[in-house]
Structure 1
Amino acid sequence: MLSRTASDLYWMSRYLERAENLARMLDVSYSLSLMPQDGRGDGLHELAMPLLITGTLDDYRERHGERLLHFFALEAANPASIYSCLGAARASAHAVRGRITADMWENINATWLDIRGIAEQGLNRYGMSRFCEWIKERSHLFRGATYGTIMRNDAFRFIRLGTFIERADNTLRLLDARYEMAGDQADAASDGTAHAYYQWSALLRALSSFEAYTEIYRDAPGARHVAALLLLRADVPRSLRACTEEINQILASLPGTNGRQAQRLAAEMDARLRYTGINEILDGGLHAWLTEFIPRVRELGNAIHSSYLEVI
């Protein structure tokens, strides 16, 4: 497969996954911002979470004042917005129209046309929660069309590779941001307050892992159990461990020897998570562990780019 084609497929799926992740994050942050904030302001600290994760806080302050939801959902000038991600995904899909199926193309093209209409209508009229649910639904439809219609060839592998690289990065950043925002309450298994319960529950719901948590643990959500679930459980689809297992398997299945560096990094990450316990992570500090692992995912993404996607 040509590097340019592989790159378009890879980034098409990354941008779609990023749009879904942003929708999940915005929905949770918006819901939590409506709750009483224990005297810590009017809830804007919850709505600032997407800005902290994506590194766009300063740009937002300069441009938009308090229009945060629009900035992250529908602002065309913000490259990190859902609108921009879907536009980039549609452009990549158009470039590889002959390598994806009609069902996949029709889904992503219709999604792009629909969000342009929503942008004209505005979030106030459409509704924030409804918008986020629509984004997640469109992402599920695209994923279903991909699984159900495309051949299991290199195109499929690069699509899946982009999905899991983006998902791994998002899980790490969401957990780190929620841990930091929990502050002094973060290290307790549960501080017994409704606010702490809803904060950790919101994170689990953002990653579609709340039902998995209640099936495994009896305690109220706290840093230890949530971190163990989202980092080390291979049977939780959006966990870091599940993502690294998929990445490792996909890279091992790609032909040729160009990807040895990426394959080595993926195998090292997978082995580290396989043989690491939650006590080892917490003993050194969860925030320190997360901030050390996030660059590893970025390094793996760079290795994938230089091995397979760089156009010469």
Structure 2
Amino acid sequence: MLSRTADHLFWMSRYTERAENTARMLDVNYQTSLLPQSQAVAQVGWQGLLSISELLYTYQEKYGDIQAREVMDFMVKDESNPSSIMSCLSAARENARAVRGALTTEVWETQNTTWLEVKRMIKTGEFEKDPAQFFEWVKFRSHLSRGVTVGTMLMDEALFFMRMGTFLERADNTARLVDVKFHAVQSDFFGAASEKDQEYDFYHWSAILRSVSGFEVYRKVYRDVIKPERVAELLILKPDMPRSLHASLNEVVNNLRLVASDPGSETLRRAGKLRAELQFGRIDEILATGLHAYLTQFLDRVNDLGAHISREYLVPVT
């Protein structure tokens, strides 16, 4: 397969996944902002969302003070923001259009219809009327895109690069989410908390789990109250949690093996090493050494892995 074709397929999937992840984070922040809380606490939530995407400085340059409505506008329809939902869906559609011949009709029509429909929804003000419904729609279109891809694409290199892009993006986003949200906890992480703090923590951790469709999964796996260390374990180390770091790296490695011409390539070695550390890691060891330091290093290594994939298989970023 031509590296340029692989590049378009890889980034089409990454941008689609990024749009979904942005919608998930916005939805959770929007829902929790409706709960009784001080303005300062609400502002921390919106600031954290911008920090996850490393867009806090860019936002403040353009809008100044953090306001919920302006943050949502910035992250949904501001096309000058490359991580906004509009920008991501536009980029996904453009990448799909560039390799139309490598896609099935169903995959192309799903991408194209999503872009046309989101433009209509923004223009008619449907996002402002019901943000929660809009975010659900974005998530649904991403689910549809993945389902159509798996259900109609030939199981060849095109599909493998698309899957690789999806799960590399997912690993990056989950790591950012866990890192920022754990920092946002106001009560003592492991110590005793007041009744008010415990109530806040329940909604806080529930929101994190819901943002990755993990609330019901947590209940099924642990059958206990929500505890921070278990949330971290679920989202980092559990291979059967679909949006965990471990599950995402499993998919990246598996698809990388299918396209690798050299089983001993440096790219595959780095991916395998990162996956092995998740496979044999323990949450108590991660927390003992520092969750923030661990996730910062993980993000650096994921970005490095993405760069190696680009250099070896795709169109290198100059």
* TM bracket (short chain): over 0.9
TM-score of the aligned structures, taking structure 2 as reference length: 0.93
Q: Are residue 167 (structure 1) and residue 166 (structure 2) matched?
A: no
2:266 to 261, 267, 279: 261
Q: Which one of 221, 227, 237 corresponds to residue 232 of structure 2? A: 227
Which residue is equivalent to 1:148? Answer: 151
Q: Distance in 1 between matches of 2:116 and 2:191?
A: 46
Aligned-pair identity (%):
44
Q: How does 1:276-287 map to 2 (within 5 A)?
A: 276-287=281-292
Structure 2 partner of 1:130: 133
Code of the residue aligned with 1:49 in structure 2: it is: G
Counterpart residue number, 1:8: 8
Q: Distance in 2 between matches of 1:230 and 1:190?
A: 23
How many corresponding residue pairs? 311
Distance in 2 (CA, whole Å) between partners of 1:101 and 1:188 is: 54
- Residue number among 211, 214, 223 corresponding to 1:209 in the alignment: 214
Q: Which of 74, 81, 93 does residue 90 from structure 1 map onto?
A: 93
Query: Is the Cα contact below 8 Å between 2:257 and 2:263 reproduced in 1?
Result: no
Label 1:255 to 1:271 Cα distance change in 2 as closer, same or farther (>3 A). closer
Q: 1:188 to 1:13 in 2, by over 3 A?
A: farther
Quote the offset at 1:202 in angstroms.
Answer: 0.7
- Taking a change above 3 Å as real, the CA distance of residues 48 and 217 of structure 1, as seen in their structure-2 partners, is same
Question: C-alpha separation between the residues in 2 aligned to 1:291 and 1:85?
Answer: 24
CA root-mean-square deviation: 1.9
Change (3 A) 1:61 1:99: same
Matches within 5 A, 1:1-312: 1-37=1-37, 39=38, 41=40, 43-65=42-64, 66=67, 67-122=70-125, 125-188=128-191, 193-257=198-262, 260-310=265-315
Task: Give the distance between the partners of 2:40 and 2:264, measured in 1 at CA.
Answer: 50
Q: Does the CA contact (< 8 Å) of 1:190 and 1:221 recur in 2?
A: no
Q: Say which SS state the counterpart of residue 156 (structure 1) adopts.
A: helix
1:115 match: secondary structure: helix
C-alpha contact (below 8 Å) 1:161/1:247 kept by paired residues:
yes
- Measured against aligned partners, the alpha-carbon deviations of 1:15-70 in whole angstroms (never above 9, x if no partner) come to 00000000000000111122223x46261221222211111112212223431111
The answer for unaligned runs of 5 or more in structure 1 is none
2:286 partner letter: I
Unaligned runs of 5+ in 2: none
Q: Is the 2:10–2:162 contact (alpha carbons within 8 Å) kept by the matching residues of 1?
A: yes
TM-score, reference length from structure 1 = 0.95
